[in-house]
Amino acid sequence: HVIGLGVSEQAVLTANAMQALDRSQIIIGCPRQLDTVSTYLDNDSDFTAEPRLIELPKFNELKVLLTELSDQQANDLQISILASGDPLYFGIGRWLSKNIDTSELYFYPGVSSIQAACHKLRLSLQDCDAISLHGRPVETLRSLIRHNQTLVILTDQHSHPKRLAQECFELGYHAARITVCEDLGYEKERVRSFTIAELVEENKLIFSQLQVTVIETGISQLMPQFPGFNDELFITGKEAGKGLITKREVRLAVLSLLQPSRGDVAWDVGAGCGGIAVEWAYWNKQGQVLAIEHNDQRFACLQQNSQRFGVVDNLKAIQGRAPAVLDTLPQANKVFIGGSDGEMSELLAFCWMQLPEHGVLVVSAVMETTKQQLLTFRDELLMVGSAVIETSQVAISRGEELAGQLVYRPNLPVTLFRFEKALDCEKKEL
């Protein structure tokens, strides 16, 4: 029985939650949560026996604890786990639902600290974007922040207001305002609002660890707001916009062919400095991108770009040579091959074999030998009727000045192939 305590020094419980607590032989919670219900436990006369109080362990230990308790006790053992606010809104409920039979779980929501902060500041929750940086890298903020946005953030000791202000400053949100709601529901509750400059420059400000931070972002001239990052934003080890990076127009075409979606497990093979992988992960936070690159310098740029754009949660950079390193990776349902280092035939065979039905393989080619290998692969798939195939050629010319006049300089055309695995399908090519 997972019980949300609300936002208060003392538990704010519904009748059903109180009944669940009354019938529990074991109550698990962090020290603050156990203190929150202590007055209720001391004054309640409905307990048939004094419940056993256990301090909440780390998640990897919690599953073991729950299993041991169930094995040691009778089948009618009832356990209550205390949660802050709403257990299923950035709370422990999600972890429990993934690790315990849901038929054994019962939830009792309370008001969340995010709700309490919005009410305190007279903000409509549907007009805000709520995120959690609790236990996550602060750089994650970079992939979530947008223009003219109200962000309501659950924080930890690493994502304190000064650090968040520093992130906003580096991302170009110099006009943003940060409001810190501390100790909501407690007698010492405090709400303070700051400019970015005030937080960045002031070193003496102290904040409670029990807080919700609200950022009203304003506008940045640096960070992208829509697919198609400027090439100059990427670190390549070369002049801005140069180096081994898939150019913006081609990148958009590739992402369109891949159609990133929730739950994808994606490979970017020959990721270079990360143009495709970074933007793939940036716009699809509910997917996982594995970027494979063997060159030391390009791999370093890939890691730096991952940090720069904040895709540290759902992009994993892997240094190694494909296809050998692919054997160690989880199965992908979307694959992009941007570089093969002479191993294109082997890569095509390996990546296609491991794709599930309706999986997608997208490949780019500039050199004629690579195109010929792709044409051969296309012919083989058409012969057996196991794929839906789409191909196009992208030729881009960009405007530059020459002797004070506008000229368009062409980039090398890039040929794109998209193969979708469709077992026993009719032979079809688009």
Quick check: 251 pLDDT over 60?
Answer: yes
pLDDT tier for residue 427 given thresholds of 50, 70 and 90: very low
pLDDT value of position 319: 96
Angle at CA 119, nearest 5°, toward 118 and 122?
85
Whether residue 37 has pLDDT greater than 90: no
**Per-residue pLDDT band at 50 (split at 50, 70, 90):** confident
Task: Kindly give the pairing relationship between strand 414-421 and strand 360-365.
Answer: antiparallel
- Measured distance CA(94)–CA(90) in Å, rounded: 8
- Average pLDDT over the chain reads 91
Q: Amino acid letter at 191? A: V
Number of neighbours of residue 212 by Cβ within 10 angstroms: 25
Averaged pLDDT, 292-301: 95
Query: What is the Cα–Cα distance from 74 to 71, expressed in whole angstroms?
Result: 8
Q: How confident is the model at residue 428 (pLDDT cuts 50, 70, 90)?
A: very low
Tens-digit pLDDT profile for residues 309-340: 999 999 999 999 999 999 999 999 999 999 88
DSSP 8-state code for residue 408:
E
Q: Is 135 left (phi over 0), alpha (psi -120 to 50) or beta?
A: left
What's the rounded Cα separation, in Å, for the pair 199 and 161?
7
- The pLDDT, as a whole number, for residue 211 is 94
Average pLDDT over residues 99-105: 90
pLDDT at residue 193 greater than cutoff 60: yes
Percent of the chain at pLDDT > 70 equals 95
The pLDDT assigned to 426 comes to 47
- The C-alpha atoms of residue 343 and residue 54 are separated, in whole angstroms, by 56
> How confident is the model over 384-419, as pLDDT tens digits?
888 999 999 999 999 999 999 999 999 999 999 999
* Average pLDDT estimate for 234-258: 90
Closest CA to 23 of 74, 80, 93, 107: 80
| pLDDT reported for residue 228 | 93
Question: Please, are residues 316 and 289 in contact by the beta-carbon 8 Å criterion?
Answer: yes
Whether cis (ω within 30° of 0) applies to the bond prior to 323 is yes
422 pLDDT above the threshold of 50: yes
Q: For residue 51, what pLDDT is reported?
A: 87
pLDDT grade for 341, boundaries at 50, 70 and 90: confident
DSSP annotation string for 107-148: EE----HHHHHHHHTT--GGGSEEEE-TTS-GGGGGGT--TT
Mean per-residue pLDDT, 12-23: 90
* Residues 19, 70: Cα–Cα separation, whole Å: 21
Query: Which residues are within 8 A (CB) of 351 and not within 5 positions of it... i.e. 6 or more apart?
Result: 267, 269, 323, 326, 332, 335, 337, 361
Q: Select from 247, 183, 219, 256 the least CA-distant residue to 32.
A: 183
pLDDT confidence of residue 77: 86
3-state secondary structure 207-263: CCCCEEEEEECCCCCCCCCCCCCCHHHCCCCCCCCCCCCCCHHHHHHHHHHHCCCCC
pLDDT at res. 342: 85
